[in-house]
Amino acid sequence: MKTSWNEIQLADDFLEDHIPPQERLVVEAQLIVNPAFRFSLQLQKKLHALVKSYGRKKIKAEAEVIHQKFFSDPGRKIFQNDIQQLFNNS
Amino acid sequence: MITEIQVDIRNPEERERLFEDLYEETFPVVARMVSRQQGSFQDAKDIFQDALVILYEKSVQQETAAIDSPQAYLIGIAKHLWIRKFKTDYPLLSLDQLEQQITIPEEYFEVHQDTNRLLTLLERSGRKCLELLSAFYYERLSLDLISKRLGFSSSHSTAAQKHKCIDKLRTTIKEKSLHYEDFME
């Protein structure tokens, strides 16, 4: 079943705290009395969490490429040895 | 020395340069901190990379009005991560005034097994949609910029595609989630 644009927009605004306090109370009341809306909001929350995990994974992958570059580049031997020494002594 | 974030962190090339500078200048500081706390090289690497992710998020979300010194900020985040991850007592790691103001996203270490399983599935079946939604929700790019990056003809068609993607991923999440309780965290 297709979810309406308005419903998704409302869920996004609610999850990202873009709703004024008075309107938020109305939405919170809807969440109590309307299980379908509650489920829809939880679904959107899950979607947000998945998208965030994906974004974080991508940024971490970029950091890992730089890490490999720094620790495999023969031109950075001094950097590599300085770091290695910190952990050899412990 | 980097004195403030002057680069557009959303731009992949500029971000790469910033991350390289930070690796060069700040990884040794974080590694020294971790080794003093009896941590391993792997711990230092994990903490530092997580700190880069959080620095990126804070810059993108403009949570901090201005990050005057990304180096100092990154060290502060790394300290918080160390304290959080290894439940170290605060007295062992002192936090200065700036560092005390830093907050780490509450859910950062709470990735559920179900989320990882679903993400792997979506990466196989819906990567294009993940790219689009990540650009919108995570990178906070405008529809106009997303259109240019992903090759859509206009902001309007990007918005329509975004809606289709939300529908598609919601349906997959609904179908593939094992437990109703997954939605009731």
Written as tens digits, the pLDDT of chain B (185 aa) is 555 566 788 889 999 999 999 999 999 999 999 999 889 999 999 999 999 999 999 998 876 555 678 899 899 999 999 988 776 555 566 777 777 888 888 888 776 777 888 899 999 988 999 999 999 999 999 999 999 999 999 999 999 999 999 999 999 998 887 554 555 54
Q: B29, B36, B41: which to substitute to probe chain A, counting the most A Cβ within 10 Å?
A: B41
Using an 8 Å CB-CB cutoff, list residues of chain A that contact chain B.
2-3, 5, 8, 39, 42-60, 62-64, 66-67, 69-70, 79, 82-84, 86-87, 89-90
Answer with the residue of higher pLDDT: B100 or A85: A85
* Minimal C-alpha gap between A75 and chain B (Å): 13
Residue B88 has φ and ψ, to the nearest 5°, of: -75, 145
How many Cβ pairs closer than 8 A exist between chain A and B? 112
b/e burial code for range B30-55 (CB count within 10 A of at least 16 → b): bbebbbebebebebbbbbbbbbbbbb
Where in chain A are the domains? 5-88
Q: Is the ipTM of this complex over 0.95?
A: no
Chain B residues within an 8 Å CB radius of A87:
31, 35, 40-41, 44
Do the chains contact at A83 and B27, CB–CB below 8 Å? yes
Q: Say whether pTM exceeds 0.90.
A: no
What pLDDT is attached to residue B88?
A: 58
Do the chains contact at B53 and A63, CB–CB below 8 Å? yes
The answer to whether B63 faces chain A, any CB pair under 8 Å, is no
Is residue B108 a contact partner of residue A56, using CB atoms and an 8 Å limit? Answer: no
